[in-house]
Every structure is written in C-alpha cells, then in structure tokens.
Structure 1
C-alpha cells in the first residue's frame, strides 16, 4: 500500500471512529476533517447508549435553534445530499428536534426530502401560522422532485395499458395490434403461401376521450405510513390529471376524509392529511365502496399496514364483495422506497386467501401495477414478482 493510500485509509478510520481513536491512530482531525468530525460528533456522540459516559468530543446540538441551524448548514457544506438526508432524519429521531422544525429559520436550513415532509405533515395541526409558509415551500420542493420522477413513467404506463385494454375488431391499419392479430389467427395459416390470412383484426381504440377506468386510492394516515402518504398524494394527483381515469383519493385514520376535490394541487392534498391516530380500515372501505359505480371498470388500491382498529370481519367481507363484483382490488403494505414495513401478517394472509394481493410496492413499480390492473392481468402473479 502506498503512503498516500495509507494516510487516506487512516483518515477515513479517524472520521468513522471519532476522537477516541486519536491516540491509537496517532492523529487528530484538523481543517475540513475537523469540521466534518464536529458535525458528526454533535449528532452521534450524545452518550445515548445508556453507558452513562457521554463522550466529550462535542457539546452536542442541545435544543438551541441557532446552533442547530448552523449544524444544518455545516452538514450541507461537507456531505452529499443523500448523507445529509440521513443525518437530518437521525437528528430528528435521536435528539428530539421535531419542535425546532416549527421555526421558519430552521426550515430554511434543511434539505427537503420525503421523510422531512412526513414529519412536517405530522406537525400540521400544531404548526404556527408564521411557519406554515416555509413548511409549504419545503413540501412543494419535494412534490416537484417526485413529480419529475414519476409523472412521465406513470402516464406512459397507464396510457399504454388503456390502449391495449380498449381493443377494437375493425381497426384502421395504423391501429392494428399485429402481435395479437397473428396469434388470434394462427389457425388460418396457409402453408402453401407461408402466411396467415387474418379472419379477425385486433386493434387499439386509441381515440376515445371517455373515462375508461375509475381508480380509488384509499390511504392509511397512521404515523408509520408517512412516506406512503406522501407518494400516494403525488401519484393521485398525476392520475387525476389523466382524462381517461376518474381518480378518487380517500385518506383515513379513525375518520375518513375525501381529498378528491383538491387533487389538482398535490401540496394541498398533503396538507389535507393528518398523520398519526388510530386506524379504521373497515370504515374507509365502506366509504370507498360508495364511490365504485362501475365495478368491472374500477381499481381499488388500499395502502395500509393492515393493523385494523375497526371491525376486521367486516373489512374482509367488503374486500370479498368488491372482488366478487369484478373490482380489481390490491393492498399495498407500503408505497415507498423503504422496503417491506411492519404489517399485520394475519390480515395480509386473509386478503391473499380472497385473491387480494398484499405486498410492499416501490414508487418505480407502481405505474406497472396500475397498468396490470387496467389490463385485468393477474395481480397475484404481479405481487409474487415483487
């Protein structure tokens, strides 16, 4: 190993281990490394391990808003944004900085991300008026980032699925689905001519402007679903912008709120939610059933960890009724990048026994899920792939 490589390796170990490694490594952090070390120490050397011996590398962040604001500025200067987001989330959890987010100057210093939006939404009802404008700007920044990420993919997947689902038997030449037409007419293969003579043409009905599918997103507002609420709100707004879909958004805890009238503004949608509280899935499904007037042309997406505080048997009965009526029903345990969450395994298994898949879905996979539901593909098989 070269001398430069050895020094770099020693430097990295020093930043990872902190001041207690000065003696063993024979060096103290200085310059930019010293500033990075202080920022890390303020967050991670708080002595919260229960040993009773708090480290002395830093005085910590405490509850001082100016000190926290400076710290937020430091980490944004010294670390990439992905690391900053992790450190912000850790600071909120480890150092109980939630109340400081109610101060406008604090919000101006943070790195906007989905988890921060979830925290702000949980504070929505107690947020002073002086802070709300700054909070809205943070939420709008994240919403715009998510829209850039998901809009084109969602529109493309849904439009393609609607086109394939609305096949017609007398298509114009440009609208013929040659793959399906050939497969449907293989029995008419003419060996002497080495070709298929199609008896029936299959094409796409591309020019209809009528509403082709009704979509109901029913979203659990319990605290564990924060990231899912954010993604659901943005997806609902994107789907609502498509004239071929009639999209409804229902959010619930122990009460039910229909946010469909504000789907034109995803920021208003998110501020219409209230994270935390109990969970009554049955009540939310009862309301959602009233919105379904064309069962065979409807898609019902329940986004919940399935911990039911209401009447479990009624919840399962409603799911069975929707399935029997022809509704495409799916339960998403999460709609986020965080992977499989903690969820009620018994209720998930009961839904699966009814033919309702229950699985965690990433935002990148959600457009494909909607396409599969529109085309009435096997959603249980789709869930198995996930």
Structure 2
C-alpha cells in the first residue's frame, strides 16, 4: 500500500480551497487526488448548485442517499456527519427518507435524528417501526450511560470535595494526595507504593426533608424537539431514584402526562407529539393541580415562552406558585447548542418575579437539579457556571408596551 507524503501547510490550504470551490470541470478534477474527488462529489451533492449542468444531487431513492451517507462517514468524524445530515434534512427535504428502513439503518444516530423520528412517528410504516425503535434505543442508551450516573450521584448527594476523610469509598479516593502521603512506603523491588493511608472525599449529606416532588413540564412544540429528548431521559433517570417523586408533563395546546411511561424512555419518546401550537398557561395550571405540598415541590418549566394561550394568566399563576413556596425554574432550552430563541418580553416578566430564567446544557442539568433540590440559590449557581440568566431590567411601562 502506498503511503502519501504529508502535505505542506501551503499545499493543504490549496487543497482545501479546491474542495471548497468544488469540481466544475475536468481540469480542476485533475489537481485533486481520487479520494478528494470523491469527497468533493459528496459535498457537491448537498451544497453544490443543482442548476448547473452536470451537477448531481442526492436523488430521492434510499440506496443513493444511503451510499451518500456512507461516503460522508468515510471522510468526516461523527460530529461533522451529524451537522451534514441535519443540513441534508433541512435543505433537501429528506425527512420522508426516514420512513425507509434501509436508509434509516445507515444514518448516524443522534439527538436530532431522534427528534425527527418523534415528529414522524405517526407516519412511520410498520416495516420501518422496529428499525426506528432500534435507532432511538441506541441514542437513549448512549445518553443514559453518559448522564444517568451523574444525575443519580448529584441528586443522592454525591461527593463533597470540601470535606476529606481517611476512610473514603474506593470511588472517592483522592489518588494524587494518597500517593504523596504514602511515598515513604515505596517498594523498589515491586516498583510500586503501598498505600497504607488513604485520603479521599466524603459523601455529601443530603437534606431529605426538602425532597418531595419534581415536575418536568416540557414544551413539545417543534422548536423544542431536542429539549424534549433530553428532558425525557432525565425524567426517566430521576424516576428511578426512591428519594424523589418525578412527573413528566409534555404539552403543546394539549397536555400529555407521561409519568407512567418513565420506566421505558423509548416509550416516553414515542409518546411525545412534536408540533402544534403552545398553551403554556394550561400546562402550568395542570402542574399546579398536582402539587399538594408547595414547599416540597419543584417545577422545572422547559419552554421558549412563545405563549399561544393567556400570557397574563401564566405570569399570575407562576407568581402564585412562587409565593406558595414552590421552587420554580424556567429553562429556555435543554440542549447542547448555543443560545436559544425565546420570547424576551415574557422571559423578563417572569424573571421579575424572582424566578430563575436561563438555558442549560445536559451536562450541567444534574448539578442544577441537585442545587434546586437542596433549595440553594439557583441564580447564583448559574452565575458560577457562567450561565447567562434573564435579568428583569425593564420598567413595568416598557414591559407592557
């Protein structure tokens, strides 16, 4: 096998420019390697100008698109493949191809794909349904593995790194300090240290008196698709913990209580119906009716606050819950991506009630819930994690205009 010599910086810049410009004629094709020609054609299929003669798009058949997906996975890492897939769905209208099992089996599974399948679930034919469930299960299992331990640890109490002990659990051992403390026990013949004295962290004491009910109230309108996926995963994890009672309420103009399905996150996701309008006030009213002890309840409202119902009543109801002692938190998004689109006027009004309003990434959500359940200052927690909260810095006159 011939190994190509590495390119100089100048040659690599030239190569990237040729790939960016695409192959429009045979003369340009000659200056690209065979591999780069294939890469360029794969990108042209999605980003090229289809009006130009000779340009080939993705086509509409499952085999041709499956081959194209195979090609881009050859040339790009999974994170870039997911971006290209998302562009393909949006630019080429390929959602209908998700209904084909041959195509679905070749797609790089991620949160955005699960969201697309959730939106199409009623249109998925029987021949594709099991494949779709398998794809969703793959993503759910990966997310559970990534997030479950941190969530359970944070809510149960976890490790308090401000308090040390010489009798730590194995998982809580501070190995750098333990090694330093036992250097005099080094055994040259074994080339190792005998750790006679362990140093580690204590488990954080949990204030169980504050733990009662957590309600995740999630906007299932189309713009909140990724947030619904993550919220459902977290709800399933939290429901498995005996120290709290967890409810999952999803809404658009209707309300669906998915609490009974939390044992199986895949069933939860297939129970969600993305799209439609939004009636946040109606959903919050439903959640308020589920709260028997306000001072032991936590309502996490996940929505972009584009209210299609009665916004004035919504603010009034949230203010009442807040005064009653319910720990209300508004998340504008629960996603890996950047700043969400949201209703700034309504966000500022709710922030003016003293209710924290901000967006959160899935990696930080376990710590957020631990902070909330201990009834610590959520706004201060957000500031410590460089999370921008919505500040009520407008006058009442400005808010009403």
Scaled by the length of structure 1, what TM-score is found? 0.83
In the alignment of these two chains, the number of paired residues is 341
Instruction: Provide the C-alpha distance between the structure 2 equivalents of 1:258 and 1:226, rounded to a whole number of angstroms.
Output: 17
Instruction: Provide the C-alpha distance between the structure 2 equivalents of 1:31 and 1:326, rounded to a whole number of angstroms.
Output: 67
* Partner of residue 264, structure 2: 265
1:297 aligns with 2:296: yes
The superposition leaves residues 88-125 of structure 1 with CA deviations (integer Å, 9 ceiling, x where unpaired) of 10100000101111111110110001111111110011
Instruction: Provide the C-alpha distance between the structure 1 equivalents of 2:54 and 2:84, rounded to a whole number of angstroms.
Output: 18
1:42 aligns with 2:41: no
Q: In 2, are the aligned partners of 1:22 and 1:28 still within 8 Å (CA)?
A: no
The superposition leaves residues 219-265 of structure 1 with CA deviations (integer Å, 9 ceiling, x where unpaired) of 00111001001000101001111100100000000000000001011
Gaps of 5+ in 1: 48-53, 164-173, 175-202
> What SS is found at the alignment partner of 1:89?
helix
- Describe how 1:207-286 pairs up with structure 2 within 5 A: 212-286=211-285
Instruction: Provide the C-alpha distance between the structure 2 equivalents of 1:323 and 1:70, rounded to a whole number of angstroms.
Output: 54
The superposition leaves residues 21-79 of structure 1 with CA deviations (integer Å, 9 ceiling, x where unpaired) of 986x79533321111111111010044xxxxxx23463111222221111111112222
* Partner of residue 33, structure 2: 30
- Structure 1 pair 248–4 and aligned structure 2 pair: CA distance change class (3 A): same
Q: In 1, are the aligned partners of 2:280 and 2:308 still within 8 Å (CA)?
A: yes
Relative to structure 2, which stretch is displaced further, 31-40 or 90-99? 31-40
Q: In 1, are the aligned partners of 2:29 and 2:37 still within 8 Å (CA)?
A: no
* Partner of residue 58, structure 2: 61
- For residue 9 of structure 1, report the CA deviation from its aligned partner: 2.6
Q: In 1, are the aligned partners of 2:305 and 2:347 still within 8 Å (CA)?
A: yes
Gaps of 5+ in 2: 1-5, 161-166, 168-202, 388-401
- Structure 1 pair 298–161 and aligned structure 2 pair: CA distance change class (3 A): farther
Instruction: Provide the C-alpha distance between the structure 2 equivalents of 1:289 and 1:26, rounded to a whole number of angstroms.
Output: 65
* Partner of residue 288, structure 1: 287
1:11 aligns with 2:15: yes
> What SS is found at the alignment partner of 2:157?
helix
- Structure 1 pair 218–161 and aligned structure 2 pair: CA distance change class (3 A): farther
Relative to structure 2, which stretch is displaced further, 101-110 or 370-379? 370-379
Instruction: Provide the C-alpha distance between the structure 2 equivalents of 1:140 and 1:300, rounded to a whole number of angstroms.
Output: 28
Instruction: Provide the C-alpha distance between the structure 1 equivalents of 2:102 and 2:358, rounded to a whole number of angstroms.
Output: 40
Q: In 1, are the aligned partners of 2:238 and 2:246 still within 8 Å (CA)?
A: yes
The superposition leaves residues 289-319 of structure 1 with CA deviations (integer Å, 9 ceiling, x where unpaired) of 1111121111100000001111111111111
Instruction: Provide the C-alpha distance between the structure 2 equivalents of 1:44 and 1:17, rounded to a whole number of angstroms.
Output: 11
* Partner of residue 330, structure 2: 331
> What SS is found at the alignment partner of 1:19?
coil
Q: In 1, are the aligned partners of 2:210 and 2:375 still within 8 Å (CA)?
A: no
> What SS is found at the alignment partner of 2:272?
coil
- For residue 355 of structure 1, report the CA deviation from its aligned partner: 0.9
> What SS is found at the alignment partner of 1:123?
helix
Instruction: Provide the C-alpha distance between the structure 2 equivalents of 1:260 and 1:57, rounded to a whole number of angstroms.
Output: 54
* Partner of residue 88, structure 1: 85
Aligned CA RMSD, in angstroms, stands at: 2.5
- Structure 1 pair 314–55 and aligned structure 2 pair: CA distance change class (3 A): same
